[in-house]
Amino acid sequence: MSIAQKVVADRVNANILNLSDDSLIFVGGIPRSGTTLVQNVIDSHSKILGLPEFKNIHRIINLQRQMKDEVKKGFIDLICTEQELNSYFKSFIKSFFEPLKKKHGYEYISEKTPQNLLVFQDLIELFPKSKFVLVVRDPRAIVNSTKKVNERARKQKVQSAVGSFYEYTNKIREQYQLTNKLIKKYPDKIFFIRYEDLVNDIERITKDFCQYMSINWEPEMMKPGEQHHLNEKGMLTDYNKAYYDKKLFGRNADSSSLYKWKKELTKREKNYIYKLFKRERLEYKFGYQLEKEPMSMIDHIYSTTKNASEKMVRIYYLIQRYVRKFSRI
């Protein structure tokens, strides 16, 4: 081992402390699928501390992927081996969570960021003894929720990172494909939650989760809105206000909004989702049934007019943002 490697290894060993792999829970899922509610449910258990969204695990893993490739190509193999690289990144991730575990004294740490979905396979290989929770929801409900984030962002004059309807709908389809692959590859490793099942039968889902974790079930998990959550501070920042407010964040499981998409999505939008998903029948693999909506001439005219109107609103706010930006120069 080189001097540099020894220095890094010593730092790594110092950071590991008492945070074992089997005390970590990683939660991920398609954005707007209900991962925040799931995290609050998990956090309501007396043995589990639910963290704010770390938001950077997928970025760290992407760097690890790049460096692994450079090791294989012989660019940096004199600096570290692939095994050493895994050890460094594993400890690097742990080092962010260890202080909170020590401070609060919980047995388990749960980190929820939707984008964890993108690197679940890497995390499973890196943390084989950890637990993994994957959340999915009806694609029409996900699209509708994402659409409303865009609308709130425009009204509040804050930037939204979700893009246009067609951009985020296509991205949702890609993430559905990834979710399907992960569940097929790791059926026993990943605890899979359908959002609809959670809000309709939270007792059963929480009991199944506790069995997966090998911990006793606690009824407080059924009322996450009545518990204090450490992750509230990170979720309710001004930068996040298009996504959450205190009411949205502090909800209990509620099935009343399951089918809001039926009234809030246009027929044209529903048909676009149907067309996008129907080739691979992805939705059927998760228990959802998408149907094509019949459209009259009036429906076509209404949809075209609404789409044009929404595009003009987006252009207006885009121009305003640039005007404000250049006026400060």
pLDDT, averaged across the chain: 87
Q: What CA–CA distance (Å, rounded) separates 161 from 168? A: 10
Q: What is the DSSP string of 58-88?
A: HHHHHHHHHHHHHHHTTSSTTT--HHHHHHH
Query: What are 194's strand-pairing partners?
Result: 136
As annotated, the residues of the chain forming the CATH 3.40.50.300 domain(s) are 1-137+187-256
**C-alpha distance from residue 164 to each of 169, 215, 317 (Å):** 8, 43, 13
Average pLDDT over residues 263-292: 89
Confidence of residue 16 (pLDDT cuts 50, 70, 90): very low
Confidence of residue 4 (pLDDT cuts 50, 70, 90): very low
Residue 60: predicted pLDDT: 97
Confidence of residue 285 (pLDDT cuts 50, 70, 90): confident
Read off the pLDDT of residues 37-71 as tens digits, 9 standing for 90 and up: 999 999 999 999 999 899 999 999 999 999 999 99
Q: Is 305 exposed, middle or buried (0-12, 13-18, 19+ CB in 10 A)?
A: exposed
Are 72 and 86 in contact by the 8 Å Cβ rule? The answer is no
Q: What CA–CA distance (Å, rounded) separates 177 from 277? A: 10
pLDDT at 327 over 80: no
Backbone angles phi, psi at 25, to 5 degrees: -125, 125
pLDDT at 157 over 90: no
Q: Which residues contact 302 (CB under 8 A, 6 or more apart)?
A: 266
Backbone angles phi, psi at 26, to 5 degrees: -110, 125
**For 1-137+187-256, CATH number?**
3.40.50.300
What does the H/E/C string look like for 151-177?
HHHHHHCCCCCCCCHHHHHHHHHHHHH
- Residue of 314 and 104 predicted with greater confidence: 104
Amino acid at site 294: P
Are 224 and 252 in contact by the 8 Å Cβ rule? The answer is yes
Confidence of residue 242 (pLDDT cuts 50, 70, 90): confident
Read off the pLDDT of residues 178-204 as tens digits, 9 standing for 90 and up: 999 999 999 999 999 999 999 999 999
**C-alpha distance from residue 234 to each of 103, 117, 243, 245, 300 (Å):** 18, 20, 12, 12, 42
- SS3 state at 191: strand
Read off the pLDDT of residues 72-105 as tens digits, 9 standing for 90 and up: 999 999 999 999 999 999 999 999 999 999 899 9
Average pLDDT over residues 149-157: 83
Are 25 and 131 in contact by the 8 Å Cβ rule? The answer is yes
Q: Per this entry, what is the length of the chain?
A: 329
Q: What is the DSSP string of 104-146?
A: H--SEEEEE-GGGGGGHHHHHHH-TTSEEEEEE--HHHHHHHH
Q: What is the DSSP string of 211-235?
A: HHHTS---GGGG-GGGS--TTHHHH
